[in-house]
Amino acid sequence: MSGRVAIALLALVVCFAVLAPLLSPHDPNAVNLSGAYQSSSGAHLLGTDASGRDLLSRLVHGSRTALIGPFLVVVISTLLGTVLALAAVWFGGWFDQMVVRVVDAVFAFPGLLLAILATALFGSGLNAAVVALSIAYVPYIARIVRSAALRERSLPYIAALQVQGVHGLRIALRHILPNVGGLIVANATLAFGFAVMDLAGLSFIGLGVQPPASDWGAMVGTGMAGVLQQHPQEALFASVLIVITVGAVNILGDRLTERWEARS
Amino acid sequence: MNALLEVDGLRVRLPVAGQLRTVLRDVAFSLDRGSTLGLVGESGSGKSMTVRTIARLLPDGADVRGGVRFDGAEVFDLRTEALRSYRAKDVAMIFQDARAYTNPVRTIGDFLTEAMRTNDRMPKSAARKRAQELLAEVGIGDPERRLRQFPHELSGGLLQRVMIAAAVAARPRLILADEPTTALDVTTQAEVMAILGRMQREYGMAMLFITHDLELAGAVCDETIVLYAGQVVERQASVRLHEDPLHPYTAALVQARPEIDRRVDRLPAISGHPTTAYEAPDGCAFAPRCHFAQEECRAGVPPLLQIGPSQTRCVQMPGLRGHMAPRQHAGSASNEEVQR
Amino acid sequence: MPAPVPSGQVKAKQRPTGVMLRFIATRIAGLVVTLFLASLVVFGALYAAPGSPLTYLTHGRTMSPDAIAAIKAEYHLDDSIWQQYLRWLGGVVHGDFGTSIIYNQPVSSLVGSRAFTTTLLVLMAAAIVLVLGLAIGTLAGLKPGWLSRSAMAGATGVMAVPTFVGAVVLIIVFAVDLEWFPVFGAGRAGLDEVYHLVLPSIALALASVAFVARLAQTAIRQELSADHVQTAISRGLPRGAVVRRHVMRNAAMPVLTVAGLTIAGLIAGSVVVEQVFQLGGLGQFLVSSVQQKDFPVVQAICLMYVAAFIVLNTLIDIAYTLLDPRVSIGKKDS
């Protein structure tokens, strides 16, 4: 699968999320207990779940939580990680050492575990999990950006700018940041894929998006009952969408990384 | 008696981005037992590729035409075991960048004894003893400690001496030295060259010595071959090369070097860029940069002319011989020789 | 003849025992500091949460002042946070994680019986990751061609499969359709438990197998094209020896290190797998305790997971630095 196919698939998922109310043939939460586990038909293109809710509508609506949570996680962690890393490289000395220590300490918490701890404290749902994952992802971004910025900083042109009396902040923002920008984008993309999996996993074990709201991870979870009764559609369809989304994001991230590596 | 190494009509093409690119064209020379032949040229001239072809170290997909005969046997006909034995016993290679060409996670002792233990089935203690002798021979003190060290713990010069020790360990009949001193600083260079020369004489090995330094080739080698764009353009006894170059390219190389007893305002550089074999024009490859180029030079690929014991690939020879003086060549009044 | 070079000219990067011991000591000190910070986070989180700890302990029920006083006394809620923390930490060091609010039993006894299943699950998954991941990666690296390419494309695909999705697919195929393996539960102790953990450990290992395979393949490709391999070939060594002594040996250290870190990462993934297969290990207990707000249990399990993760990471880091001569001690950060 090439980068273009990946972008096209992602664009499609984003369209689902944006146009969900228009694209859904039914109310995703409309229960019809007499119509449980229907197979595909004109009325229900992908059939129905255990409560007779339309699967297609639920899957289309599920793309919203599948994208918005990971998006927030990536934006927050990338911003925090980049700022920390650039500041650490720029100020150096004890500040740099402190950032490295803190980042190492946060690194000791696996992202999913921190998210579980957060839902224990603040209640189940996306909000706490997003904040927790954002913090847990900061070390990955910060480490990569820091080492790239350190390399960049050691280049002669930075010394030349300093000799010319260009302000430090300006050098960091106008020269170092754009030069490590490609790397940041590549890693943010890869982090997005991990965030999709972590948040879906959290919803799957019942600590993330709460029923009856539709979410792909949660649908795999509720679909487990159907799996045991020879009705695996709900779990399978949601799984396929997660895998396609994560796969497309990963391929895009790999291509961006390759492009960045080819540059240097 | 036949020559130790005979290279004959050698054409090598390497796959680059799905296409075969010519790197060597019609390379032919021979090397006698125990003698030293220099191979001089700019980067891209094909000198490294020549020795790699001889050691059969070409990348997958390389297309080789012509022949390389070692002691009468065709090297490209050798099958697995025969090829291993050829590399293990007959030829040895010394690479330019000793650090990149030694395994960073294995000790010097491992590096030196590995071939003895694998190829010659030498017991460990005997191999280590032999390795210590070899280190002493290349002038490395405290061999016992060195054997336990890793490559990154040794300086570049020391590591290149280890390389030389490893190369001569199996008493090969031919040493292929690919710019063995280029990566070293000048003093270390002289030491390493002295050791290499001494080992070669003591062990009676022939050597193909690659360098971009015409003067170094002259100091080390009996004869020198000049390569340009994947072709041999001149072959002469090294002592003659400086005084009486037989190709305008060689003449330009000689003049581009500063000399200690000559003071010039400006060194005459060779105009234009060096050409590689695959982008060489029809006719003489050097013609676009040559001050003496005529219509006939561009007509077709010049043949290798025999002039006495020497060879040249210039169609204007021997007419041009002795007329390629610096002033004429640079064509500028500003680099008149000034006697000190 | 040039004189032997004096030893002063050696680029001194010697690694005497003293330096190594100091390095190990530094890493272990770092480990202790990180563990301490982790305990602070795990304990302090309770106070960062909205509402007072008392609300959690009473589960929001209205209680008589006497009952509240009893709870306050039991959990020392009138002490300062630091006193409470130190008391808790002191207990943890002695293996006492407090009392479960829901079960009214010592957390240590509740947790201990469940830890075995989780450990077995992670160990089985680790074995699968090492054996399969390294085997696939090595073969793909040494034998380029369509098989290698499709293996790597497959690995890229598998890496996009979240653990729980892999688990569900495995259940559908091997438990529901083929009925080769049980769907739920950890079975009886012994071989039966191993049998019950086959599907869960495969599900847990799947993405890591793909990752390690890709990693090993890349590393072996890179080493194959390294200059020093040309030297080994030029010396007439048999291909087997070149591959074993120069390609595999050099690729091994970095690959094993990252594989080790990946295995440490399985600890977090096991929570989800235990939930899918209802294994009744630490992870499933953690999730149910979170849902029931049984804080002493949540704290204990989180701390155990983080400790296992950090200790593994530190051990791998120390092993790598000591065993790979290319890494110079004390210069790893930049």
Domain extent, residue B292, equals 245-339
The predicted-structure confidence for B285-313, as pLDDT tens digits, reads as follows 887 888 787 788 887 788 888 887 888 88
Location of structure tokens 């982090």? A191
| Token pair 């487990």 in the structure block, residue | A224
Chain C CB within 8 Å of residue B294 CB:
no
Tokens of C140: 């793909």
C contacts of B93 (beta carbons < 8 Å): 231, 234
Task: Give the three-state DSSP class for B69.
Answer: strand
- Predicted pLDDT at B207: 92
Q: Please indicate, yes or no, if residue B44 is contained in any of the structural domains.
A: no
- Does this complex have an ipTM over 0.85? no
3-state SS of chain C is CCCCCCHHHCCCCCCCHHHHHHHHHHHHHHHHHHHHHHHHHHHHHHHHCCCCHHHHHHCCCCCCHHHHHHHHHHCCCCCCHHHHHHHHHHHHHCCCCCECCCCCCEHHHHHHHHHHHHHHHHHHHHHHHHHHHHHHHHHHHHCCCHHHHHHHHHHHHHCCCCHHHHHHHHHHHHHHHCCCCCCCCCCCCCHHHHHHCHHHHHHHHHHHHHHHHHHHHHHHHHHHCCHHHHHHHHCCCCHHHHHHHHHHHHHHHHHHHHHHHHHHHHHHHHHHHHHHHCCCCHHHHHHHHHHHCCHHHHHHHHHHHHHHHHHHHHHHHHHHHHHCCCCCCCCCCC
Touching, C vs A (3+ Cβ pairs under 8 A)? yes
Planar angle of CA B296, B300, B301, nearest 5 degrees: 115
Among C41, C183, C272, the residue with its CB nearest the CB of A205 is C272
- CB–CB of C235 and B140 under 8 A? no
Cβ <8 Å between A116 and C290: yes
What pLDDT is attached to residue C329? 54
Q: What percent of chain A has pLDDT over 90?
A: 12
Of C7, C14, C237, nearest to B118 by CB-CB distance is C237
All partners of chain A with 3 or more CB pairs under 8 angstroms? C
In a domain, B250, yes or no: yes
Contact B154 C232 (CB under 8 A): no
- Residues A110, C305: C-beta atoms closer than 8 Å: yes
The DSSP bridge pattern shows strands B36-40 and B206-211 to be: parallel
The answer to whether A and B touch (≥3 CB pairs < 8 Å) is no
Smallest CA–CA distance from A250 into chain C, residue: C160
Inter-chain contact B141–C5, Cβ cutoff 8 Å?
yes
Residues B248/B314, Cβ–Cβ less than 8 Å: yes
Cα gap B123→B130, rounded to integer Å: 11
B273 within a domain of the structure (yes/no):
yes
Chain C and chain B touch, per 3+ beta carbon pairs within 8 A: yes
Q: For chain B, how many structural domains are there in total? A: 1
CA-based torsion, C257, C260, C262, C268: positive or negative: negative
- C-chain CB neighbours of B198 within 8 Å are 1
Q: Is residue B281 part of a domain?
A: yes
Who among C162, C183, C275 is closest to A242 (CB)? Answer: C162
Q: Which chain C residue's Cα is nearest to A122?
A: C49
Q: What is the pLDDT of residue C220?
A: 92
The whole model's pTM is what? Answer: 0.81
**Is B266 or A187 the better-scoring residue by pLDDT?**
A187
Residue B129, sorted as left (phi over 0), alpha (psi -120 to 50) or beta, turns out to be alpha
Quote the pLDDT of residue A180.
Answer: 86
The three-class DSSP label of residue B266 is coil
Buried b (16+ CB within 10 A) or exposed e, C134-160: bebbbbbbbeeeeebeebbeebbbbbb
**C-beta atoms surrounding A100 within 10 Å:** 18
B314 occurs within a structural domain? yes
Q: Does C177 touch chain A (CB under 8 A)?
A: no
Residues in chain C where the model's pLDDT stays below 70: 1-16, 49-53, 56-61, 327-334
Shortest Cα distance, chain B CAs vs residue C322, angstroms = 12
Other Cβ atoms closer than 10 A to B300: 11
Distance from CA of C145 to the nearest CA of B (A): 13
Contacts of C269 in chain A (CB under 8 A): 112
- Euclidean distance between CA atoms B69 and B86, whole angstroms: 12
Q: Is B299 part of any domain?
A: yes
Residue B107 located in a structural domain: no
Q: Which residues of C touch A224 (CB under 8 A)?
A: 168, 171, 276
Closest residue, chain C, to B199 (C-alpha): C1
Helix (H) or strand (E) holding B241: helix B238-243
Q: Mind listing the pLDDT tens digit for each residue in B122-164?
A: 898 999 999 999 888 888 888 889 998 889 888 888 898 899 8
User: pLDDT by residue (tens digit) across C44-69?
Assistant: 877 776 666 677 666 666 777 777 78
Contacts of C among chains (3+ CB pairs under 8 A): A, B
User: Which residues, 6+ apart, have CB-to-CB distance to C221 below 8 Å?
Assistant: C141, C144
The answer to whether C209 touches C158, Cβ cutoff 8 Å, is: yes
Q: Which of C290, C293, C303, C311 is best to mutate for the A interface (most A CBs within 10 A)?
A: C290
List the chains bordering chain B where 3 or more Cβ pairs fall under 8 Å. C
Read off the pLDDT of residues A154-206 as tens digits, 9 standing for 90 and up: 888 888 888 887 877 788 888 888 888 888 999 899 999 999 999 998 888 88
**Locus of tokens 């010069």:** B157
- Give a yes or no: residue B293 inside a domain: yes
Choose the closest CB to C2 out of B114, B153, B195. B195
Q: Which residues of C touch A200 (CB under 8 A)?
A: 162, 164
